[in-house]
Amino acid sequence: MRAVAIRHVAYEDLGAFGPAIERAGYALRYCDIGVDSLAELDPVGTDLLVVLGGPIGAYDEASYPFVRDEITLLETRIAAQRPTLGICLGAQLMARAMGARVYPGPATEIGFVPLALTDAGLASPLAPCADAPVLHWHGDTFDLPEGTERLASTPLCANQAFARGANILGLQCHPEVGAHGFERWLIGNTQELAHAGIEVTALRAEHQRLAPGLEARADACITAWLDRLEH
């Protein structure tokens, strides 16, 4: 089976999701925006597609034309109900592909905040994250796409996760962030952290304290989702 992860910036990769995807039998490769061509991707034939996060807006196609290309790809794929996971920007692009609005949220949400799961969320692959801290790093939010179920919320963001059936999953949060690679996030977002008044040393220490639990929950969540997919 083939899995492709669309990556917008190098440090926002599959993180702790990657080993579980490969363990499930997928040959995994990255499609790096700005380097690789989206035209080479088969929107329906690819067995698993993951659209990762990034620092741009899902409504920025005037400045970044590839946004429209990603939405077009996702429209085709979601219509075919092919296994698709979106994380942060990826979830926002999925929401747009499903006809929902994406827009600036009430405030920037950066840090480790527990997820409050809905009843649907407790019955979903996100169950291991119930009331547990995961990484959040976003300023935008989206309306719940038509035909989806809300799975999780935080006080700042009502729509933290949604699903349509077993195969379509969007995550505003970053449960893929586990024990490794977080320093790259701190380096890549230096200006944003300074603008938000967030102490880098405190955020690093919080990650180090939570890392073992983050890693275990990430593996449990993605494994549960992969086990339920309908190919």
- Give me the phi and psi of 156, to 5 degrees please: -90, -20
In this prediction, residue 231 carries a pLDDT of 84
Cα–Cα distance measured from residue 172 to residue 157, given in angstroms and rounded to the nearest whole number: 9
Which residue type sits at 109? E
In this prediction, residue 144 carries a pLDDT of 98
- Which one, of 155, 143, 149, lies nearest residue 116 by Cα? 155
CATH code of residue 210: 3.40.50.880
Query: Which H or E element spans position 78?
Result: helix 66-79
Cα–Cα distance measured from residue 188 to residue 145, given in angstroms and rounded to the nearest whole number: 30
The model's pTM: 0.97
Task: Give the count of domains, the chain.
Answer: 1
- Residue-number span of the structural domain to which 165 is assigned: 2-228
Query: Which H or E element spans position 32?
Result: strand 27-32
Cα torsion 65, 21, 116, 200: sign: negative
In this prediction, residue 181 carries a pLDDT of 97
pLDDT tens digit at each of 231 positions of the chain: 999 999 999 999 999 999 999 999 999 999 999 999 999 999 999 999 999 999 999 999 999 999 999 999 999 999 999 999 999 999 999 999 999 999 999 999 999 999 999 999 999 999 999 999 999 999 999 999 999 999 999 999 999 999 999 999 999 999 999 999 999 999 999 999 999 999 999 999 999 999 999 999 999 999 999 999 998
Nearby residues of 162 by Cβ (< 8 Å), 6 or more positions away: 91, 95, 144, 145, 148, 149, 150, 151, 169, 170
In this prediction, residue 19 carries a pLDDT of 97
- Give me the phi and psi of 187, to 5 degrees please: -70, -45
In this prediction, residue 29 carries a pLDDT of 98
Instruction: Name the burial class of residue 45, with classes exposed (0-12), middle (13-18) and buried (19+) by CB atoms within 10 angstroms of its CB.
Output: exposed
Nearby residues of 229 by Cβ (< 8 Å), 6 or more positions away: 48, 83, 166, 167
Cα–Cα distance measured from residue 190 to residue 181, given in angstroms and rounded to the nearest whole number: 15
In this prediction, residue 127 carries a pLDDT of 98
Q: Where are the beta strands (DSSP E) in 36-186?
A: 48-51, 84-87, 102-114, 116-117, 133-142, 149-154, 157-164, 168-171
